Amino acid sequence: MTFQALLVSKDEEAAAVLTPVLAGFGVTVVSCGYPDGICQLTEQKFDAVLADFDDPHSAELVLQNVFQSSSGNRIVTVALLSDKAKVRNVFGKGANFVLYKPLSPEQAEAGLRAATALIKRERRSSYRVPVQVPVQLKVQDGPEMEGILLDLSEEGMDLLAAQALCPSAPISVRFSLPAGQPEIEVRGEIAWANPNGQAGVRFAELGESLRTTIKAWVAANAPQLPPLDPEPVTQCKLTDLSLGGCYVQTESPFPERSGITLGLRAEGMEAQVDGRVRVMHPGFGMGIEFPAHTADERAQVARFIGFLTSRPGTVPELLITPRALTATSASDDANSTSDQLDDPLLELLRRHESLSQEEFLQELQKQRSSEEVAPA
């Protein structure tokens, strides 16, 4: 399985650093200037786009063209940035990752490790298997209606509803797969919709059992086996943990709004929880929110916190694996229990956009000093 990235930059030194690093991750690079880069996006399909913000206006145009393409929501975007003070603005322009210039091979490798893991995960999750079975669907606050499932992937589905649907609306869908499979009910968000009733649904956080069922069916029915799941990011340190979220120091953080699976292990005690990245500090770390749609998921985190609290000095092992470039917002989900928590760490994660990295880390340190969060 080959992957291809587009590098749009006039910086030959940056290209000389990035090209071999990406090649080491199995990604080939097409390098060009800004006008040619926009043309390339209309002529070829890329798994990732790297745009140099030495020319901010041109770089923004490149990212705009990425998201205007039909597969824009599946393309991993990386900004090359000289001024760290502008990182929040660059994220707002659509960058998933940021690499600070001047680049070194070590910095580029650390920063691109998570990016290439997401590239591989997105290629796998985009495998759509055609299947036509009846479905019952219900948009939030609307009546139940009938429809037809058109195709299914690990992260979503395309369907045809009896009437037009509205993009961004929460939706639940019930259906049974062929060959006598038990009925499945999934919740998600309408990613796009046409006037004729056809729509794409992006799944919300799936339980482990349901995710395993869908992944197994897709793998068994795909024309060819999907690529293997990416290796988890292991070079990370848990510094803060609460019922609602955590902060992890790592040189390879995943982007804001991405979905991850966090595996925690310490002295025989294990926990595995789904999360959504709320804040990403390039080259330093990330804050992760735990949606925890069920009491069992919340209890699993609580047991692990209790275990660490009872053993001061225990350092847990972390494995972080990407699930999706864009995950459904937990705070927008009426079934999430996150809003019921009195959780200072979670509140800090949710208001991070008003804080610089330094201000955020200072607030985090104050919480540790006041012992309002569990020790790492």
Q: Is there a single domain that holds both residue 150 and residue 121? A: no
Alpha-carbon dihedral 38, 117, 73, 37, rounded to 10 degrees: 0
Last residue of a domain, one of 62, 92, 125: 125
Whether residue 63 is contained in a domain is answered as yes
Q: Is there a single domain that holds both residue 217 and residue 92? A: no
Q: Is there a single domain that holds both residue 157 and residue 194? A: yes
Whether residue 110 is contained in a domain is answered as yes
> What b/e sequence results for 66-100 when a residue is b if at least 16 CB atoms lie within 10 Å of its CB, and e otherwise?
beeeeebbbbbbbbbbeeeebbeebbebbbbbbbb
Q: Residue 225 is encoded by which pair of tokens? A: 């086996």
Q: Is there a single domain that holds both residue 217 and residue 263? A: no
Compute the distance between CA of residue 236 and CA of residue 238 in angstroms, rounded to an integer: 7
Compute the distance between CA of residue 239 and CA of residue 161 in angstroms, rounded to an integer: 46
CA distances for 211 relative to 155, 185, 275, 332, 348, angstroms: 9, 11, 14, 21, 30
Residue of 323, 119, 96, 118 lying closest to 204 (CA atoms): 323
The pLDDT score that the predictor gives to residue 294 is 62
Pairing of strands 76-81, 48-52: parallel
Q: Is there a single domain that holds both residue 245 and residue 363? A: yes
Element (H, E) at 191: strand 183-193
Q: Name the residue with tokens 């569990």.
A: 374
- 3-state DSSP of 252-321: CCCCCCCEEEEEEEECCEEEEEEEEEEEEECCCEEEEECCCCCHHHHHHHHHHHHHHHCCCCCCCEEEEE
**Biggest CA pair distance of the chain:** 59
Q: Is there a single domain that holds both residue 32 and residue 136? A: no
Q: Is there a single domain that holds both residue 243 and residue 365? A: yes
Domain containing 163: what range? Answer: 129-221
Whether residue 213 is contained in a domain is answered as yes
The pLDDT score that the predictor gives to residue 161 is 95
Q: Tell me, what amino acid is at 217?
A: W
Q: Residue 57 is encoded by which pair of tokens? A: 């206006």
Whether residue 32 is contained in a domain is answered as yes
Whether residue 50 is contained in a domain is answered as yes
Task: Evaluate whether 72 touches 41 at the Cβ level (below 8 Å).
Answer: no
The pLDDT score that the predictor gives to residue 155 is 81
pLDDT means over runs of 10, the chain (376 residues): 90 96 94 92 90 96 84 81 94 95 95 90 79 93 92 90 90 88 88 90 81 86 64 82 92 93 87 91 95 72 87 86 74 48 90 93 89 47
Strands (E), 11-81: 27-32, 48-52, 76-81
Q: How far is CA 317 from the centre of its chain?
A: 21
Q: Is this prediction's pTM over 0.85?
A: no
CATH of the domain at 190: 2.40.10.220
Residue of 315, 310, 196 lying closest to 264 (CA atoms): 315
Whether residue 374 is contained in a domain is answered as no
Task: Evaluate whether 156 touches 203 at the Cβ level (below 8 Å).
Answer: yes
Residues in the chain: 376
Task: Evaluate whether 109 touches 18 at the Cβ level (below 8 Å).
Answer: no
Is 232 buried (19+), middle (13-18) or exposed (0-12) by CB count in 10 A? middle
Domain count, the chain: 3
Whether residue 227 is contained in a domain is answered as no
Task: Evaluate whether 189 touches 139 at the Cβ level (below 8 Å).
Answer: no
Whether residue 135 is contained in a domain is answered as yes
Query: Residue 262: what are its φ and ψ, rounded to 5°?
Result: -105, 120
The pLDDT score that the predictor gives to residue 137 is 95
The pLDDT score that the predictor gives to residue 301 is 85
Query: Residue 88: what are its φ and ψ, rounded to 5°?
Result: -65, -40
The pLDDT score that the predictor gives to residue 374 is 46
